[in-house]
Chain A
Amino acid sequence: MNQDAKKIANSLYGRVNAPAVERCRVNFCTDLEKSVLMSNFERRAWNQVGPDDEWNFYWASTQTCRNLFSVESGYRMNDNQIINHFPNHYELSRKDLLVKNIKRYRKELEREGNPLAEKAEVALHGGQVVTRYVHLDFVPVTFVLPADYNMFVEEYRKSPQSTWIMKPCGKSQGTGIFLINKLSKLKKWSREAKTPFHPQLTKESYVISRYIDNPLLIGGKKFDLRLYVLVTSFRPLKAYLFQLGFCRFCTVKYDTSVTELDNMYVHLTNVSVQKHGGDYNNIHGGKMTVQNLRLYLEGTQGRAVTEKLFAAMQWLIVHSLKAVSSVMANDRHCFECYGYDIIIDNQLKPWLVEVNASPSLTSTTVNDRILKYKLIDNMLSVVLPPDGVPDVRWNKIPNAEAMGNFDLLIDEELIEKEEPSGHSRVLKTKYK
């Protein structure tokens, strides 16, 4: 596959390693002057310009990006301009929309009679038997409140002892999240939310998801995974997974007792939450690399289950992207880096918690800074054609050296080329 990619790139450009001197200077514009960004732009000797100037590369906030693409702005990008968001990224990054899109995607596959949509009965903790998708059951059961309240109550009654987690749809970094283990508590919340003292709460919709109450613990502590996924196109889907993700640990021992239900240091792994805990450590910031997680799992649990877990995480990412690919405005000027938050349960099954379209570029530790610097560096080399100048006419097939720490997750164009008939064959053999 990579050989092909190289050939194509060679035939198109003729010179893979363009000497730096011949490059014309890239003008960049940024809404965010984070040091990991700026040092990368500087190293490439790019020239900073304002948003109204002739930029080639814009590191924009999601708001700026939406404005640029809105009909009113009337802005038209030329072929040498690229930007770091898709205009309707929220289809993936808003918790309610993500769930909606995944539900729709599964239904569509089911209607087509696609074997991926196979269902089977599984027994829950409490012994109740429910029907779940075999291959596409990677988000916890989720409902949007208040819209799906009745459906939620129906599901709740199936296993009344389970815990649910409430999250505001539009917020991030752990704000506004709380746990619920009684229907009465939810009713109380909805009553309070409607009082005139909290008018802002009524406007906001929430998602309520089954809480993963059996997370995998390491050293007795709960953690989640932050993986970085770069998408350069949704149709055909082209996505890359960054090898250097990390685990974020809670500072407090995991405890499912009811008394700890309100202690967010036990349940939430967000650094923004954990930072305020007394036990937060500034040297490691509660972060461990994904490579070390893999080393630990292989050492203590064996190779087969570890491989299966990592394959399942790739599977989850690919299908969450496929679920939104039909609704995404696939503008060729756009690329986007998503922060995937994944929780692994004690059966080593990964669960997608949420997707962030503007993952934090703030560095909490030295290693964090190195990681994020590399992330930006590798990202730039994947999204730019070999001569380093943004060009939307490029086929977006980076050569092997440009990939850095990124691994190809999926490139539907390459799959198409290899296997014109069965379009998902490569994926099946790779991920199943």
Chain B
Amino acid sequence: MEGIHEEVIKPTALKIAAEIKTLTSYKTMYGDLQKIASSPSVKKDEFKQTLHQAMKDHGLETKFRNSVYHLIRTHNKQSKDPVALLNKASNQWEKRIHKSLNSMCTDLETSLAKTRPQSEQEELLEKWNELSTYNLDLSKYRPVYAPKDFLEVLLTLSGYAPYTREDEPKWEFAHLPLQVKTLDQLRKVFPEWSNGEPLLGVNPNMPSSVPGFATLEAERISLGERVAVLGYAPVVQEYLKKGSPQCLRAKLWSQVLGSEIKPAETEYFSQLKKDVLEIDLMIDKLIFKDVQLTASNDDQYFVFEDLLYQVMLCFSRDSQVMEILKNSIGNPPTVTIKGKQTSAESITVFPPSGIIPFHGFSMYATPFCYLYDDPAQLYYTFRSFYIRYWHRLHYISTHSQGIVSLCLLYERLLEANEPLLWIHFRNININPIRVVFKWLMRAFSGHLPPDQLLLLWDAILGYDCLEILPLLALAILSFRKENIFQVNTIQNVDAVLADLSTISVIPLLQLALMKS
């Protein structure tokens, strides 16, 4: 048996070994390994065994294991969308965005990319830590698109698919040939929740079932501290399923995402900053505008305004983002940088990250301000989250975690589990996706208070899926249904759902997942 096992595993192992060699961190890892191999604890005659032991003792084993874990995880991402039908829609939407950017440039008589004059560079550098005082006239800049624009596009998608059922209104996602889970299937994805196991975020004084601990929180902190010391990503992920205490979250999140920073990352981050200083991209103004329109006006996040400018500006320059996501985010245009001598360097992808922000884009980063003081550490965790999850929420794809599937999942869940609400929405002629779409697209950031939001995002990491978002949308609607039944216009439904400050995410979700 063992022989066969070896046979099967060998090609994969060789492939991974080859890939590890291409990682940026490989050089330091190899160097560390060489140092250990030449240390006295490694014996020549028992080389394999003693080396392995020494690797364990020096924490190198966990590092290797985590590298393999993160490599394998990236393998799972899909190559180009298998269902071609949404490609056309996606391409057209992308073209519209590019056209809109170009016409904004023409209207404002500016260019997409130009070199930044020396004086401006100096001012920007001087004010880098307080960019809120950097004076820009943004009155004429408008976000390229808002969640509701994106929703309009998604609602036309069924036009790209052949009709299967005559009796359904055109706007439903149900026409799309996508598979989504039922509530019962979701219960199997979240067994800890559906079995009613004790979770953090239900009640701060919930007693612990483990002897020696007064509360569940104390028990989770003690366990979490051990998990954090171990630092093995799959274990951390498992731990996050039942929620992390706030005091350990920063560490655990960066462990599960592999976003801990080392000197190489700090250096790369300062290179991004340098890129911002040198080249003036039109998108910078959009980023400033977005932070101003959202975080600066939000009583949960205004304090962190200056941190967010830095992080979002650097993100736009990060070509690694585009490299990693190249199959999922379309084809960003290349533009000539005005003011540069014509050469290979005078052309840039616009923007280098390939990501064009929409109204509220900064909200993907704001909650991390409650975890990290250091802009570089904040940056890497935010970036990893974006690469793993958030890009799926604003690009059209048929991925099971993509926004289209999530919308369809919400629709199906509502129809199957809250039929009266479903009928009510039909009767008042409101598409039920309209009242929750902004929650889904922003993963509830800016809608839930930060403590609740962080618990929700624990679950996203723990179960490594976004299906919790439509489920929460359903749970909130269901919780407020008596009030929704009382109203019949979209404005009033929105009003019923506007304030989520009293929502307790975990009990609501657990209630939805537990069988009645």
Contact = CB atoms under 8 A, between A and B. Distances in A.
B354 interface: no
15 contacts: A218-B303, A221-B303, A281-B296, A281-B302, A283-B297, A284-B297, A284-B298, A289-B299, A292-B449, A298-B246, A299-B246, A300-B372, A302-B247, A303-B245, A365-B299
Nearest to A285: B299
Contact of A281 (B133, B250, B297): B297
Contacts of A283: 297-299
B376 to A, nearest CB: 14
Contacts of A367: 299
A235 interface: no
Given A220-B129, A283-B297, A300 B303 contact: no
A289 B501 CA distance: 13
A288 B129 CA distance: 21
Contacts of A286: 302
A292 B303 CA distance: 11
A137 B474 CA distance: 53
Nearest to A218: B303
Contacts of B307: 219
Contact of A300 (B250, B298, B450): B250
A132 interface: no
B221 interface: yes
Classify the interface of chain B: helix, strand, loop or mixed.
helix
Contacts of B306: 219-220, 253
A287 interface: yes
A281 B294 CA distance: 13
A329 to B, nearest CB: 39
A25 to B, nearest CB: 32
Interface of B: 129-130, 132-133, 221, 245-247, 249-250, 296-300, 302-307, 369-373, 449-451, 454
B133, B246, B250, B449 — which one has the most chain A CB atoms within 10 A of its CB?
B246
Contact of A288 (B132, B247, B303): B303
Contacts of B371: 299-300
A59 to B, nearest CB: 28
Given A281-B297, A283-B297, A284-B298, A299 B250 contact: yes
B302 A300 contact: no
A295 B250 CA distance: 12
A173 interface: no
Given A291-B451, A299-B250, A303-B247, A284 B370 contact: no
A296 interface: yes
Contacts of B247: 298-299, 302-303, 306
A292 B453 CA distance: 12
Interface string A269-311: 0000000000101011111110110011011101100100000
Contact of B303 (A249, A291, A302): A249
B299 A300 contact: no
Contacts of A289: 299
Given A219-B305, A295-B450, A299-B246, A288 B300 contact: yes
Contacts of B298: 283-284
B303 A299 contact: no
A334 to B, nearest CB: 34
Given A288-B303, A299-B371, A300-B370, 8 more contacts: A218-B303, A253-B306, A283-B297, A283-B299, A284-B297, A288-B300, A299-B247, A365-B299
Contacts of A284: 297-299, 302
A295 B451 contact: yes
Given A299-B250, A299-B370, A300-B250, A292 B305 contact: no
A279 to B, nearest CB: 8
